[in-house]
Amino acid sequence: MISNLGRMERREEDLTDNHPSPRDRTSRARPPQAEERRGTSMFTRSKSLALALLGGMLILSIVLAACGPAATQEAVPQQETGAEEAQPPAAEEQQPAAEEASPVKVAFVGPLTGPDGVDGQGAAKAAELAVRQANEAGGICGGRNVEFEAHDTKADPKEGANIATLLCNDTSVLGVAADYNSSVALAEAPVFNECHLTQVNYYAAAPEIPKRGGEYTFRVYPPGENQSKYIADWLINGLGYTRFVALYENTDYGKGLYDAFVAEAERLGGEVIESEAVLKDQTDLSAVVAKFKAAEPDAVVGLIQYQVGAYFSMQARDLGLEAPLYGSDGLFAPEIINLAGDAVEGVRTVAAYTTESTDPVIMNFVEAFREAYGEDPNNPAGYAYDAVNFILEAMDETDCASREAVQAWFASEMVDKRGVTGTITLDEYGERGFAPGMYIPIEIHNGEWVEVTE
């Protein structure tokens, strides 16, 4: 479980065994105090023995003159503090190295509670996994440890803006994966741009978020209109459907996808004959189902999240609406099957990857996620994992120099970068462009998400 303001730091024993800090190395190089005391005690016994054997003041003076300075010279290097000129030059040289080894931070911002909490938790776990793997590989920027923070927006734009301000004030934070919700991402963007903190959107789908957000706003999640165009082409050119009813979430996310679908469907010769905007946590959809059933559509298009998809499917089954449900990738979650069971059999959507993929990049991610958390990653997880890995790469390649350096890297170096969700190139606005193979059609078959093969 990712807690609010959670942190993930490298375990102390790993730091000690594998990457001792300059301070540790300096401490181990110094002789211990016990050795100093032992040297002083030996000197005292030697002095007493000389007094007993020689018994003369002249000889005693010679012994003290000869032995006294020797004892003093031996003790000076053993002191851990002392006059400035007595400090070993190596200690002075190691001080900058200790500063260079100070941790840097990457933050995750998204909904960890509320209706979007399950999706947000999956994304946060993937973000944490990326940081953990970087630390296990020796850190970044010459061995610096990366600390991880996860912040819960509760899908509230005001909360998102407040979190953005908090992160801006922490100068050790050099990059942020934010956000899941489009309205929240747009509320955060002006704050991040003001403090020059790079914001990488991992699941916000509203049109032109990077362009509207500013030069410190980027997105590895494809804009929603691309997904809507793909679904329209799939339904009309691929399956021959032309009459649609559309159910969409009454948010920036849902409205953006709906507008793009209507435009593309009409361009391809289809039409949306009925539509309805719904709340993201709405559970009673019986009136919508009745309205859609009366329209006799070829298919239902659901530009919604999995919770609404589950309740809609159960009520459609109960009320006799037989048109198949096709929707945006918000439907792609194991939880929709847990909620609705057989009622969602045959539901179709698109995804960037599947957990059964044989692609080595995807396989490595899925296996690592399963090992770390004992569950499969959801759709937002892949995008969050990519977002944080690219932030870490930007920090590492700029030697963690500054927030401005991280932004400059994203603005110039994000070309043909391979991630879990495909090969990513960002345009001049920081937007992810369309690429062949970006979407994989998937469906629920026998209670599992599988790739569509027909």
Mind listing the pLDDT tens digit of every residue in the chain (454 residues)?
Answer: 444 434 343 333 333 343 333 333 333 333 333 333 333 433 333 334 333 333 443 333 333 333 333 333 333 333 333 333 333 334 334 344 444 468 999 999 999 999 899 999 999 999 999 999 999 999 999 999 999 999 999 999 999 999 999 999 999 999 999 999 999 999 999 999 999 999 999 999 998 899 999 999 999 999 999 999 999 999 999 999 999 999 999 998 899 999 999 999 999 999 999 999 999 999 999 999 999 999 999 999 999 999 999 999 999 999 999 999 999 999 999 899 999 999 999 999 999 999 989 999 999 999 999 999 999 999 999 999 999 999 999 999 999 999 999 999 999 999 999 999 999 999 999 999 888 889 999 999 999 999 998 7
**Residue 281 located in a structural domain:** yes
**Residue 304 located in a structural domain:** yes
Q: What is the CATH number of the domain that holds 220?
A: 3.40.50.2300
Q: How many CB atoms within 10 Å of residue 448?
A: 12
Q: Which domain holds residue 315?
A: 225-356+440-451
Please report the pLDDT score of residue 447 as a whole number.
Answer: 95
217 and 230 share one domain? no
352 and 391 share one domain? no
**Residue 431 located in a structural domain:** no
- How would DSSP label each residue in 343-359? GGTT-EEEES--TT---
315 and 344 share one domain? yes
Q: Are 353 and 421 in contact (CB under 8 A)?
A: yes
Rounded Cα–Cα distance for residues 423 and 432 (Å): 10
74 and 142 share one domain? no
- The dihedral built from the CA positions of residue 381, 382, 387 and 393, taken in this order, carries a sign that is positive
Which residue type occupies 248?
Y
Please report the pLDDT score of residue 59 as a whole number.
Answer: 36
Here the tokens at position 80 are 């851990």
153 and 136 share one domain? yes
**Residue 347 located in a structural domain:** yes
**Residue 5 located in a structural domain:** no
Please report the pLDDT score of residue 101 as a whole number.
Answer: 64
Here the tokens at position 65 are 């003159």
The angle that helices 117-136 and 360-373 make with each other, rounded to 10 degrees, is 100
Rounded Cα–Cα distance for residues 199 and 153 (Å): 15
Please report the pLDDT score of residue 169 as a whole number.
Answer: 98
229 and 351 share one domain? yes
**Residue 74 located in a structural domain:** yes
Q: Are 428 and 211 in contact (CB under 8 A)?
A: no
**Residue 433 located in a structural domain:** no
64 and 142 share one domain? no
Please name which of 233, 185, 229 lies closest in space to residue 205, comparing C-alpha atoms.
Answer: 185
Please report the pLDDT score of residue 436 as a whole number.
Answer: 82
**Residue 87 located in a structural domain:** no
247 and 348 share one domain? yes
CA separation, residue 375 to residues 156, 370, 444 (Å): 27, 5, 18
270 and 345 share one domain? yes
Q: Are 439 and 352 in contact (CB under 8 A)?
A: yes
- The DSSP output letter for 215 is T
Q: How many CB atoms within 10 Å of residue 74?
A: 15
Q: Are 261 and 230 in contact (CB under 8 A)?
A: no
394 and 271 share one domain? no
pTM of the predicted model as reported, rounded to 2 decimal places = 0.76
Number of domains in the chain: 3
111 and 246 share one domain? no
307 and 389 share one domain? no
